[in-house]
Amino acid sequence: MPKYLIERDIPGAGKLTPAELQGISQKSCGVLRNMGPQIQWLHSYVTGDKIYCVYIADSEQAIREHAAQGGFPANRIEQITSIIDPTTGD
């Protein structure tokens, strides 16, 4: 299945408390359980005013549906075509 990077504009995201992040995670996981195996959350990066999430999903529409059901913004969705890291240069 394709892998996606989702950019979520969330003002103050970097100042969310551990409890608030836990609540967001629990909400996301609940929606994912209801949606079934066509979508999977791998991990997210929290920055100042954004959260960047990496998902595996059968379509961009599944990502949008997850966002709608969870009440999360999905300001930008990009399909990941390749992954590189320092070992790519070896």
Inside any domain, residue 90: no
Residue 7: which pLDDT band, with cuts at 50, 70 and 90? very high
Rounded CA-CA distance 17/76 in Å is: 24
Inside any domain, residue 55: yes
Domain CATH number, residue 39: 3.30.70.3090
Q: What is the mean pLDDT of residues 44-57?
A: 98
Rounded CA-CA distance 52/8 in Å is: 6
Neighbours of 13 (CB within 10 A): 20
28-49 CB burial, b ≥16 within 10 A, e <16: beebbeebeeebebeebebeee
For the chain, how many structural domains are there in total? 1
> pTM for the full model?
0.92
Q: What is the mean pLDDT of residues 68-82?
A: 97
Inside any domain, residue 60: yes
The whole domain housing 12 covers 3-81
8 Å CB contact between 29 and 42: no
